[in-house]
């Protein structure tokens, strides 16, 4: 089987052909066989000897056109033109059984022309974190890139301390970022910008070509998909942590995992990135940052659209995000009518778990057991402000009675949207600690749990518990 190499072939001057650099004693330790099957990739590729030949041979499908893309980005609000694939390479594109194309991208590939004197490596710690998080989000139904396979090594790399290098092949619709368009626009390379747009219309936004204004239709699609994604982040309590425009995908997927975190105790001001001293990417700031990033991207559309057209599309971001978020929150509470009363119940519930600093996910899972005619003492006991909790519960029960939905049906629906298991940072760290000593059993067990987030099982009880005090608000570094 051969891969396609459309990006490297048609946009070869928008980056650089670059070969992966072999790491010391590489070992294939994990393969996402379900994803491999979906992409119709040969099983024979994913053995120890074959994958190493594919990645480090000079004539394999992975390396004949392996390519480092050039882009820029706004990082913490400041423009940086000196970005690009500094440790990653586009290996090619595979087609699934429906004919849809997917990028295969090697992370931790070694130095590229855009490494800026860095080693081009990824550390095992961050690679495991990305693998776990991308699978966790995917199985919750949140759009994301995914991990195809994990390769470890004995090669030392130096960040805050000495660590081991690792590699991962990840999969997404493409690796085109907001920063691609920004770079060629701000650099005045309008011919390259046009060719990038043309490539996107041909390969990723072909439906937009049927529109009177393809560029307007594409901007609308990116705005809608970004709003939908961030609404899901907010509803499921996911904090990305580094929403720079070079980490924003044009496909509205979770991309470039760094110091992310799923919420533990519900704190809207939570900041998961210990380098984010101003709280720019705090949990509650993510919707606003999404709009800021779309504004930055929209400058690249100005050669094709007028200001009013762009403003019109950007103005749709907030109502689309709020509509998606409101619907998700009603579903999480088992409320099926979009009324002022249900909106107030949702907001008061969020205020209650925020003020009491209750665990976000456990609190929602408790709601799945509510009997609209019962006392529901476990929920009341969950809170320190019991009187306030009882008052909210009475209004909530009345709303459930009024909508006249069978309890078993409602509870089943709620269990299918409120996860029993989420990726806690402390659980990820325990898996990392074991893996750094050569034991991947905890990583694999955690991965298995996260692939079934809504199915409560007795054997997985430890993964449904709240984190210990030492596991809350862990400082996670951007460095990888």
- What gap in Å lies between CA 192 and CA 196, rounded to an integer? 6
Residue 187: pLDDT over 90: yes
Nearest by Cα to 433 from 225, 228, 163, 240:
163
| Residue 478 pLDDT exceeds 80 | no
Determine the average pLDDT of the residues in 167-184.
Answer: 98
- Residue 373, Cβ neighbours under 10 Å: how many? 10
Q: Is the predicted pLDDT of residue 198 greater than 70, yes or no? A: yes
Q: Is 465 helix (H, G, I), strand (E, B) or coil?
A: coil
The encoded tokens of residue 478 equal 């951007």
Q: Is pLDDT at 477 greater than 80 in this prediction? A: no
pLDDT in tens, 124-172: 999 999 999 999 999 999 999 999 999 999 999 998 889 999 999 999 9
Instruction: Say which residue the tokens 């519960």 belong to.
Output: 393
pLDDT (average), residues 187-192: 98
CA dist 389 → 101, 384, 393, 418, 431 (Å)? 50, 9, 6, 20, 36
Of 376, 347, 349, 375, nearest to 363 by C-alpha is 349
425 is in an annotated binding site: no
pLDDT digits (tens, 9 = 90+) for 41-80: 999 999 999 999 999 988 899 999 999 999 999 999 999 9
Tell me what the mean pLDDT of segment 371-379 comes to. 95
Provide the pLDDT for residue 364. Answer: 98
Return the closest-CA partner of residue 452 out of 141, 30, 128.
Answer: 141
* Per-residue pLDDT at 465: 94
Whether 258 contacts 478, CB under 8 Å: yes
Q: Is 122 helix (H, G, I), strand (E, B) or coil?
A: strand
pLDDT of residue 2 exceeding 90: no
Q: What is the DSSP string of 52-109?
A: HHHHHSSSSTTTSS-EEEEEEEEETTEEEEEEE-SSEEEEEEEE-TTS-EEEEEEES-
> Is 247 annotated as belonging to a binding site?
yes
Task: Determine whether the annotation assigns residue 192 to a binding site.
Answer: no
Q: Is 121 annotated as a binding residue?
A: no
Residue 461 per-residue DSSP state: G
pLDDT mean over 194-207: 98
pLDDT (average), residues 100-113: 97
Residue 273 half-sphere exposure, CB side, CA atoms within 13 Å? 23
Catalytically annotated residues = 246
Per-residue confidence band for 122, with pLDDT thresholds at 50, 70 and 90: very high
Give the DSSP letter of residue 284: G
Q: Give the pLDDT confidence score for residue 158 in this predicted structure.
A: 93
Q: Give the number of residues written for the chain.
A: 480
424 annotated ligand binder: no
Question: Is 469 labeled as ligand-binding?
Answer: no
Query: Comparing 105 with 469, which gets the higher pLDDT?
Result: 105
Q: Which stretches of 204-252 are DSSP H helices?
A: 214-236
Q: Which CB contacts under 8 angstroms, 24+ apart, belong to 326-333?
A: 328/231, 328/232, 328/235, 328/417, 329/235, 331/413, 331/414, 331/417, 332/235, 332/364, 332/367, 332/414, 332/417, 332/418, 333/367, 333/396, 333/414
| Average of per-residue pLDDT values in the chain | 96
- The answer on whether 120 is annotated among ligand-binding residues is yes
Q: Is 58 annotated as a binding residue?
A: no
Q: Going along 177-274, which residue ranges are E strands?
A: 238-239, 261-262
User: Kindly report the CA angle at 256 between 250 and 260, in degrees rounded to 5?
Assistant: 120
The pTM for the full model equals 0.97
pLDDT range class, residue 472, cuts 50, 70, 90:
confident
pLDDT over 90 (residue 480): no
Q: Is 438 annotated as a binding residue?
A: no
- Structure-block tokens of residue 439: 């034991």
């Amino acid at each position: 089987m051969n891969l396609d190499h459309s990006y490297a072939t048609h946009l070869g001057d928008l980056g650089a052909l670059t070969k992966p650099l072999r790491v010391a004693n590489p070992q294939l330790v994990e393969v996402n066989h379900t994803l491999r099957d979906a992409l119709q990739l040969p099983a024979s590729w994913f053995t120890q000897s074959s994958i190493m030949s594919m990645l480090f041979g000079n004539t394999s499908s992975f390396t004949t056109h392996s390519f480092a893309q050039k882009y820029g980005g706004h990082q913490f609000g400041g423009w940086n033109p000196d970005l690009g694939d500094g440790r990653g390479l586009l290996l090619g594109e595979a087609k699934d059984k429906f004919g849809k194309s997917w990028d295969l991208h090697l992370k931790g590939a070694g130095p590229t022309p855009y490494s800026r004197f860095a080693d081009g490596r990824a550390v095992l710690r961050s690679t495991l974190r990305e693998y776990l998080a991308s699978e966790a989000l995917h199985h919750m139904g949140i759009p994301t890139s995914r991990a195809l396979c994990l390769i470890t090594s004995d090669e030392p790399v130096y960040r805050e301390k000495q660590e081991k290098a690792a590699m991962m092949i990840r999969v997404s619709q493409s690796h085109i970022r907001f920063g691609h368009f920004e770079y060629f626009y701000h650099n005045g390379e309008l011919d390259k910008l046009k060719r990038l747009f043309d490539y996107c219309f041909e390969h990723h936004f072909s439906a937009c070509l049927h529109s009177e204004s393809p560029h307007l239709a594409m901007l609308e699609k990116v705005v809608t998909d970004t709003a939908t994604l961030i609404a899901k982040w907010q509803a499921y309590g996911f904090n990305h942590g580094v929403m720079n425009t070079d980490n924003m995908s044009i496909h509205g997927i979770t991309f470039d995992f760094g110091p992310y975190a799923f919420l533990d105790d519900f704190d809207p001001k939570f900041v998961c990135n210990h380098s984010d001293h101003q709280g720019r990417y705090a949990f509650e700031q993510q919707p606003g940052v999404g709009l800021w990033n779309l504004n930055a991207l929209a400058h690249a559309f100005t050669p094709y659209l007028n200001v009013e057209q762009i403003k019109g599309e950007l103005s749709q971001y907030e109502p689309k995000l709020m509509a998606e978020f409101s619907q998700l929150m009603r579903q999480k509470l088992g409320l099926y009518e979009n009324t002022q009363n249900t909106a107030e119940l949702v907001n008061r519930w969020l205020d209650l778990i925020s003020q009491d600093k209750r665990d976000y996910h456990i609190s929602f899972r408790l709601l799945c057991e509510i009997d609209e005619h019962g006392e529901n003492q476990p929920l009341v006991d969950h809170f320190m402000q019991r009187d306030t909790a009882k008052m909210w519960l009475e209004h909530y029960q009345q709303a459930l009675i009024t909508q006249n939905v069978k309890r078993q049906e409602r509870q089943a629906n709620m269990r299918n949207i409120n996860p029993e298991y989420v990726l806690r940072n402390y659980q990820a760290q325990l898996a990392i600690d074991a893996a750094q000593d050569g034991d991947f059993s905890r990583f694999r067990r955690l991965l298995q749990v996260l692939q079934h987030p809504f199915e409560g099982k007795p054997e997985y009880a430890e993964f449904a518990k709240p984190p210990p005090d030492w596991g809350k608000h862990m400082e996670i570094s951007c460095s990888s």
